[in-house]
Structure 1
């Protein structure tokens, strides 16, 4: 790829990460507020996952900014390595918390209250996240960027969890399945651990 064309995609990818951070900040504020008010493990877990997405997107934006500023290849690779490790660690932290919170609420048989605020942000995210995933994968392929591809998977985890949390919220409300909320939260853990391990392995493969 020509340098000028690569720089164009780098700038677009970095701008995308900025949009990602802005939206996820809104998502965190709304989902955690709704989660704590309603007592929903799934909404709280989903909001915490969005915090990890903010960290991941910010770190990736930092890596992209470094290449745009034409820092040395060694420093770019170092930033790539750090970015993948941040993504891997993010998946692990989210998995640990969600497991603890969902298991605790399952055994305590805690039933969350209905949350219109939570429902609204979930529905908005069903529209926003697929758009973010598509563009991250697009620029990841254009730039041959493992960390952008890994970040798109992080966003896919959020989308998957959005569907699970939404299903749990509706099941509790309309089917009286008290266990649906913690189970919906827990469904994300195996996938998150798998993708976290993959990001970690990709990070180890980069030599600086």
Structure 2
């Protein structure tokens, strides 16, 4: 009886994990779909208006697409019952992809913002940019909550790291929106590049955190 009980508990836990993995994978699919829209709209709005903050925010959304897609690949692997060693390898790759993407975005944002700050370039108003920012203020908190919740359920460091990535994007959304409004209504020409630069410390912090977690994974 005791052996049967152990076997039953094992299959129950295994079935529950599979269910959580499927939900987490579905969340990543929704995340990728929305972020692709976010990238297209924000980069178009950023380049047409000359806003460093919108461009930087759009590039961070590119990181989210890469991060969510790589994490989807890792979850799909575990759902496909691949060997634990390969799952760990995918986990390590996912964290390194997140770390590298954040670092590259930080470098570009710094260069673009400092250049526009020195040249005193004033961005044009972008209604489209403001709309996508407002939509993201609603969507991102929902994604953060689900990612973090299932990251805890699955004991997944990379899913938790991805939720922090989305939290950084939420912070950026507020900063970028504030910058655009300050340029428009207060005529603070410097608010746009400063809003963009506020993204960098958080991006670098998350880059380093993902890199350290990647090194801890044994593959």
CA deviations 1:110-145 (Å, max 9, x no partner) are 000000000000000000000000000000000000
Q: Deviations over 1:152-190 (max 9, x none)?
A: 111111111100000000000000000000000000111
1:175 alignment partner, one of 166, 177, 186: 186
Q: Give 2:136's aligned residue.
A: 125
| Structure 2 residue 160 is the aligned partner of structure 1 residue 149 | yes
SS at match of 1:176: coil
Q: Tell me the distance in 2 between the aligned counterparts of 1:113 and 1:44.
A: 13
Instruction: Give the match's secondary structure for 1:49.
Output: helix
Instruction: Provide the residue aligned with 1:52 in structure 2.
Output: 63
2: CA distance between counterparts of 1:53 and 1:191?
Answer: 14
> Secondary structure of 1:2's partner?
helix
Residue 160 in structure 1 maps to residue 175 in structure 2: no
What is the root-mean-square deviation of aligned Cα atoms in Å?
A: 0.7
> If the length of structure 2 is used for normalisation, what is the TM-score?
0.94
Give the greater-gyration-radius structure (CA): 2
Tell me the equivalent position of 1:36: 47
| Distance in 1 (alpha carbons) for counterparts of 2:125 and 2:161 | 34
Distance 1:47 1:192 in 2: 13
Does residue 17 of the first structure (1) align with residue 28 of the second (2)? yes
CA offsets per residue over residues 58-113 of structure 1, 9 Å max, x none? 00000000000000000000000000000111110111111111111100100000
Question: Runs of 5+ in structure 1 lacking a partner?
Answer: none
User: What TM-score, normalized to structure 1?
Assistant: 0.99
Deviation, 1:56, is 0.5
What is the deviation of 1:195? 1.2
